[in-house]
Structure 1
Amino acid sequence: MGDGPGDKPYEEISEELMAQRARLQAQREAEELWRQKEAEITKKFRDALANEKARILAEKWKVEMEDRKAAKVLEEERIHEEFKRKEEEERKRGEEQIRLQEEQRAKELYWSLKRAQLQSPASESEERVWEEQLRRSKAADEEQSRRAQRAREEYRRHSLCAIQKGTVAGLSSMFRELGQSHEQETRLCHHLPGPGPPGPLAVPASRAWERPLRPVSRAAIVRWFKEEQLPRRAGFERSTKAIAPWFHGIISREDAEHLLENMTEGAFLVRVSEKIWGYTLSYRLQNGFKHFLVDASGDFYSFLGVDPSRHATLTDLVDFHKEEIITVSGGELLQEPCGQRDSPPDYHLLFE
């Protein structure tokens, strides 16, 4: 080799072999990366298209019967073409990204092989170095994935712990911190009874009772709300210390429908349930009402038998369904909260 006329020198052949080997390995890795990237892109746009179709389906009651089918077909075609265009653009970006990574990886592998050759001329030693580099690269990727997963789990755990350990001050102290006058306090509290503002809400540090399987009395429900729900800020707005306009106390189904009967479709309220440890979301339809049970017996809030989504707070559940429908068949979106009509408000027992 290298002795006859036209033969290449050993060093040149070795260089070519290493370069070819690096390119082949980089190509295999690039193909695997592209398969993963293509699967991510396909899933992303398939899920986005399904969500968009669900949103269109939720608004079907707003369209006249004759125009609904044509409008739905046109809208779906438009959305399909738009998502197809976006998917193609992202595929091109992904292919370019993989191509650049392939070129960079080929260079890295070439120099790795070169260094290994200089350190040990034996082919077996080169193979061992090559395999060790691959093993370390894979191990580093796996460790990075594990750290990211642990970080996400730790964030969720701390978020839930913070909600569970939170405390709720009394309504009077809330208004004092906000600098409200006595007249403003009376108006914002919906004229709670008594000569002055209510005293601090007593939230025991530890539970002194064993919760029954189901509510057995109104007093038990009040106690459950004060001891378990107030620390989780159930019924309060997200960024203020005010009670949410949609929140109501222990009122009946008939009372809820009476409050909602003169409101438009999409109006809603959330009342403390007498059937389960949780709440009932009462919703105004165009011609009637719907009532959804909200389970709050554990560390989360979710609809019973309707939507498997779990939410850290009651406000999270309500805000989520201002943007996302409750059921596909009904297309319920929470729009206008139904507030208090009487004085004192129907939830005053819960905050005494």
Structure 2
Amino acid sequence: MTKTQPPMIIVVGASAGGMQATANLSAQFPKDFPAAIFIVNHMGADNNGDVLAKVFNESGGLTCEQAHDEQPFQSGHIYLAPPDQHMLLVEGKILVTKGARENRYRPAIDPLFRSAAVAYGNRVIGIILTGYLDDGTSGMMAIKQCGGVCIVQDPLDAAYPDMPQSVIANVGADYCLPVAEMGMLLSDLVRRKLPRRKQPPKDIVIEAEIAQRVLSDLPAVKAIGEQVPFNCPDCGGVLWQIEGDFLRYRCHTGHAFTSAVLLAQQTAKIEETLWVALRMFEERQNLIATMGQSHGSSSSSVSQRVQDSQIHIDRIRAMLKATHKDNHDEVAKG
């Protein structure tokens, strides 16, 4: 790597259905591929990322490994974000952090994409593959604003088209194609001659720095947004609406949400609260009946109190059924 000719960087984000899609993509790279590839695939904290690395190493021509903090990277290698940690890029090396979740995930796609955009500007190629909701859209906006290239999987080719569709609708894709056709395109793009890179916008730099610090940063979030009367569903802190056309929110501890993810989180919290309320009303009803039997209370009084509790139980059950239907409809829309 030289200062006059920085490497090309390819950053890839995937969620539901992403293991197969990223494996199909990695199999297309030749051994002499002149760029480094970084992949975030949404996964649970208890997943073993070595399984995915093994699949890539067996199916493709490039060496694949889980990323490590402060690790220098090189072209012709694939680096995977490890479970329950964000993968970020700075000049010439990888950072692996335990920062706040973004869009409910760690690793998340947006932090990687933003950090790559700030560090490498127009030498970044971003790719969004299959997945629910819209993680990756904000990060892809950063890549485009810094002069990079936007590629999305054709929604008709994606197992779950939400994420590619969100990028198309909110950013606009430079290329939209099936995964099977991406290898040839990327081989052409990484060999282009590029103009001199420009300075990244200040707001993107601030958000990239928030992900690196892993610390509360009230001045930073105040600089890029306006406080709103909503609370963070992860930590309970107040939220700031981030300036821009794509509706997003941040709390000062680092949690970040698109409007779609915030709504999904609020719905999940409401459902959790309703289940607790249902359990408590059923326990109360049983306790009233038990006390009536034990103390010889008036049967009509006990019966009335039991009936009153049943009214609340029925209402909560009706709300839970409605919440379940709303969730099912949202998934069906995707």
TM-score class, shorter-chain normalisation, is: under 0.3
The structure with more radius of gyration: 1
| TM-score scaled by length of structure 1 | 0.21
Higher strand residue share = 2
TM-score normalised to structure 2 length: 0.22
